[in-house]
Amino acid sequence: MDYETAHKIGKQLADMAVLMKHVATYQKTKPVYDAYRKAKNKERYRAGHERDIILHEAAAKALKAAGVSKLPNLAAMQKEYETLQAQKEALYADYGKLKKNVREYDVIKQNIDSILRQEKEPERGKETERG
């Protein structure tokens, strides 16, 4: 796996976190919203529970926009989220090791380049002495 895969997983995690928040908000505020829909005096009920009703409507709208028609299982989503998080952490750990290897290889290359330059310099000195 590579950096691009880790980036995709990171985006997927961010999207899942937002979706999970909407699902949790929807579930938490659903009883209040259901009671509001059944209330005889909707204006008075809404005045007393406006925050939860607004949150529920916003979560429902966001879920609909995300193409969610059936409410997903929050526990299953949390488990999948944790699995993806572990994959992301493993990928970034691998990325860190590879980055360290690249730095070590750069130092080795610089040392070799320096040695090769030192070996060529005496040859140039000999050519000027002869001429």
Q: Whole-model pTM? A: 0.67
Predicted confidence band at 126 (pLDDT cuts at 50, 70, 90)? low
Cα-Cα-Cα-Cα torsion 92, 94, 100, 103, nearest 10 degrees, comes to -90
Question: pLDDT per residue over 58-77, tens digit each?
Answer: 999 999 999 998 999 999 99
Helices then strands, counting H and E runs in the chain, come out as 3, 0
Please report, as a single letter, which amino acid is at residue 18. V
Q: What is the pLDDT of residue 94?
A: 86
pLDDT digit string, tens, across residues 21-43: 999 999 999 999 999 999 999 99
